Structure formats: C-alpha cells, structure tokens
C-alpha cells in the first residue's frame, strides 16, 4: 500500500528558516529513500495557533511521523506531541550560546504522557530522525523496508571498503 506522491508521510517542521541548514540531512535522506514528505516552518512561540492546527490535522492529512526541530527552550516537539498521537521525533538545534545542549535537555525531559523521540543535536540528529522515521514507516511499507535495508547495507559496505588505514 503506497501513498500518492502528493500525500506526505513525514512532516519536517522547524521553528524558523535558520534551522533548515541543520535539518537538510533529514530532508536529503527522506528524498533518497523516496519517502513523501513536507517541510514547513511552524514556530511554537511566534505562531502557536498555526502550530496547533498543524499538529491536530497532521494525521488526517496523511502524515505518519513528524520530525520537529527546535533550539533554545525547544517547545515545538513537545507541544506538537501534545496535539497528535503520531510519533514525534525531536531534533535539538545548535543555535544558542549553549550549542544545542539547552534544546537537548528541553526535548528529552518531556513529562510522562507526552512522548518525543529525542535525537542528537544538529545534523547527525536530523539524519537519524529521518532514518528513525523510515524504520517506523517500514513496518507498514515493505518496499520502503527494502530501500532502508539497502541504504544501511551501503553504509556498511562503505566502511568495509575503506577499513585499512595506511600508517
């Protein structure tokens, strides 16, 4: 069962356009794995009504997973999770003087009942969020499971092809 190319499976959201550079690895991996997705700016603090609308309508619009990036106080992932039953994967952004550590703590310390799957800070976390989303979706879409398995095998093959280091 495949969704149409026009129906995104994953929502990639961020508090501001400045987060896009850190989220690009997630977007690239979703594209490489041919996972339909949308990318939106959804600010918890500057556009709270839009954030609530986005989160509360996500499932009815066909989304299955939301990747939410936020820096500083990092309210976006948790607030979105509070308005949807979909899995929300939080990516802390390294945008403050604390280099994302504040965002990491904000996202990972969600209260009981409002889960957010917290990833690493910045680009590595964004990449892993996309792979985590792919693994969730692969439970439903066998063709995606095959693409994800091939992607992971290619990473293994890359390491094995270059395992000797000249001294």
Nearest alpha carbon to residue 24 among 91, 151, 123: 123
Residue count of the chain, please give it. 167
- pLDDT of residue 6 exceeding 80, the answer is no
- pLDDT of residue 5 exceeding 90, the answer is no
Q: What is the pLDDT of residue 166?
A: 85
Q: What is the pLDDT of residue 165?
A: 87
- pLDDT of residue 86 exceeding 60, the answer is yes
46 labelled binding-site residue: yes
Taking residues 155-162, report their average pLDDT.
96
Average model confidence (pLDDT) across the chain: 95
Q: What is the pLDDT of residue 3?
A: 46
Residue 31 near residue 105 (C-beta atoms within 8 A): no
Q: What is the pLDDT of residue 1?
A: 37
49 labelled binding-site residue: no
Phi/psi at 130 (5° precision): -65, -40
Helix (H) or strand (E) holding 24: helix 20-32
Taking residues 100-104, report their average pLDDT.
96
């Amino acid at each position: 069962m495949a969704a149409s190319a026009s129906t995104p499976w994953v929502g990639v959201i961020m508090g501001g356009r400045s987060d896009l550079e850190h989220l690009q690895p997630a977007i690239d991996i979703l594209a490489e794995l041919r996972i339909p997705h949308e990318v939106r700016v959804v600010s918890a603090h500057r556009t709270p009504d839009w954030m609530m609308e986005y989160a509360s309508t996500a499932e009815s619009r066909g989304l299955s997973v939301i990747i939410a990036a936020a820096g500083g106080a990092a309210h976006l992932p948790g607030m979105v999770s509070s308005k949807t039953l979909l899995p929300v994967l939080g990516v802390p952004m390294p945008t403050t003087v604390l280099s994302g550590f504040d965002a990491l703590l904000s996202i990972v310390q969600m209260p009981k009942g409002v889960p957010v799957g917290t990833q690493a800070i910045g680009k590595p976390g964004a990449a892993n969020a996309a792979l985590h989303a792919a693994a969730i979706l692969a439970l439903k879409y066998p063709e995606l499971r095959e693409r994800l398995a091939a992607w992971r095998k290619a990473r293994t093959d890359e390491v094995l092809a270059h395992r000797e280091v000249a001294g």
